[in-house]
């Protein structure tokens, strides 16, 4: 097996975040479920945007955020996701490339508008996401280059991809290609409602052994396992995947690998501003640790450091120098 060109190839929805402060009353009056991700159509995107406060536009998308974090930690990283040939698409392409990530999919003029996620941040720093997928919806199976997949140490997929009409089979194909090349497949469950939409598929992928590293937060692992609490859910899912990572917000995170359990506490922070991207950056730190051959505890620690950075400012991409923050480990 040759040394891979990329440490990680991430595949996901290429989305520009539109981040605005909002009150709990605003969420209630618009029937929004705090902390969740909801898919909306263009008309609803327009009307919700109209009602929102002034925004900050910052590139986002779960796997894209993870890719930016990986590159910031010194990993050779590529990202595949579809944007349109519009201003937001140009912003997305610029930002991911300026983060040091190879952007593998050309913007297109025939796919509608670039995806945007209207993110409402409440005073408790929780984010409630409303995604208009637009161009991201048009990610075609053919654009996932099998050679690139086979040439990445880890391929990282977001569960949100299962919402796309043409992507499922392509993603499973990518998983097969990666594993056939002796690479690892990592997968994030993305969101409880996303799991509710695709639970059977996700469980089948796990049962069929297609996932090497599975990421979830507490709500997601409980939803997937249909258990009463996190411990039971981890008991149920842990033995089914080689490596399970469960993030637990301010309680830190745990990993289970071949029966061995490791834990990390959450990093201390000075101000909690916006939790968007916490899970994405935890995954970035953890995968960077794995790519660099660190042990489970150190990989978790790297995840905790990266997640702590991103929740102390608006936006889901790192702003501080992650390598410097993690210099004691790297």
Helix, strand, or coil here: 7?
Answer: strand
State the nearest-atom distance from the C-beta of 310 to a copy of itself, in Å. 13
CB of 120 or CB of 194, closer to a copy of itself: 120
Q: Which of 57, 172, 257, 297 touches a copy of itself (CB under 8 A)?
A: 57
CB of 58 or CB of 246, closer to a copy of itself: 58
Kind plus residue range of the DSSP H or E element containing 137: none
Binding mask 106-145 for a copy of itself (x = CB under 8 A): -------x--------------------------------
Query: Does residue 91 touch a copy of itself according to CB under 8 A?
Result: yes
- Radius of gyration of the chain from its Cα atoms, rounded to whole angstroms: 18
Q: Which of 13, 59, 128, 298 touches a copy of itself (CB under 8 A)?
A: 59
Residues 6+ apart with CB under 8 A from 21: 53, 120, 121, 122, 123
Beta strands in 22-151 (DSSP E): 37-39, 56-59, 77-80, 101-103, 115-121, 127-132
State the nearest-atom distance from the C-beta of 54 to a copy of itself, in Å. 4
The alpha carbon of residue 63 and the mean position of all alpha carbons in its chain are separated, in whole angstroms, by 4
Query: Does residue 54 touch a copy of itself according to CB under 8 A?
Result: yes
Q: Which of 29, 98, 180, 239 touches a copy of itself (CB under 8 A)?
A: 98
Q: What's the rounded Cα separation, in Å, for the pair 78 and 76?
A: 7
Total residues contacting a copy of itself by CB under 8 A comes to: 28
Q: Which of 8, 15, 63, 68 touches a copy of itself (CB under 8 A)?
A: 68
CB 155 within 8 A of CB 185: yes
Sheet-wide strand order for 260-264? 101-103, 77-80, 6-11, 152-158, 184-188, 213-217, 243-247, 253-257, 260-264
Q: Which residue(s) pair with 120 in the sheet?
A: 20, 128
CB of 89 or CB of 252, closer to a copy of itself: 89
Binding mask 298-317 for a copy of itself (x = CB under 8 A): ----------------xx-x
> Where does this chain touch a copy of itself (CB under 8 A) — which range of 23-31, 57-65, 174-182, 184-192?
57-65
Query: Does residue 94 touch a copy of itself according to CB under 8 A?
Result: yes
Apex 74 CA angle, 97 and 86, nearest 5: 10
Query: Does residue 56 touch a copy of itself according to CB under 8 A?
Result: yes
What residue ranges bind a copy of itself (CB under 8 A)? Answer: 18, 20-21, 49-50, 52-59, 68, 86-88, 91, 94-96, 98-99, 113, 314-315, 317, 319
């Amino acid at each position: 097996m040759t040394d891979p060109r990329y440490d990680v190839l991430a595949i996901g929805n290429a989305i520009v975040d539109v981040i605005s402060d909002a009150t709990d009353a605003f969420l209630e009056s618009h029937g929004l479920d705090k902390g969740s991700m909801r898919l909306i159509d263009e008309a609803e995107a327009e009307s919700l945007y109209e009602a929102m406060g002034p925004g900050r536009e910052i590139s986002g998308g779960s796997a894209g955020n993870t890719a930016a974090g990986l590159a910031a930690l010194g990993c050779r990283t590529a990202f595949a996701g579809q944007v349109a040939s519009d201003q937001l698409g140009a912003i997305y392409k610029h930002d991911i490339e300026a983060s040091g990530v190879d952007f593998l999919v050309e913007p297109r003029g025939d796919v509608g508008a670039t995806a945007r996620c209207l993110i409402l941040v409440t005073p408790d720093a929780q984010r409630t996401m409303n995604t208009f997928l637009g161009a991201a919806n048009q990610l075609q199976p053919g654009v996932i280059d099998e050679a690139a997949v086979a040439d990445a140490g880890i391929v990282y997929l977001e569960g949100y991809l299962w919402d796309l009409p043409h992507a499922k089979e392509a993603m499973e194909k990518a998983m097969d290609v990666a594993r056939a090349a002796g690479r690892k497949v990592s997968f994030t469950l993305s969101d409880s409602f996303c799991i509710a939409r695709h639970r059977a598929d996700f469980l089948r992928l796990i049962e069929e052994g297609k996932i090497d590293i599975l990421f979830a937060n507490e709500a997601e692992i409980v939803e997937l396992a249909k258990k009463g609490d996190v411990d039971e859910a981890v008991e149920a899912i842990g033995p089914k995947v080689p490596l399970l990572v469960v993030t637990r917000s301010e309680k830190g995170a745990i990993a289970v690998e071949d029966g061995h359990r490791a834990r990390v506490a959450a990093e201390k922070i000075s101000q909690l501003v916006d939790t968007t991207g916490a899970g994405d950056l935890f995954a970035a730190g953890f995968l960077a640790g794995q790519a660099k051959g660190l042990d489970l505890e150190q990989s978790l620690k790297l995840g905790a450091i990266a997640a702590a950075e991103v929740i102390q400012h608006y936006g889901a991409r790192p702003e501080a120098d992650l390598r410097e923050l993690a210099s004691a480990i790297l």
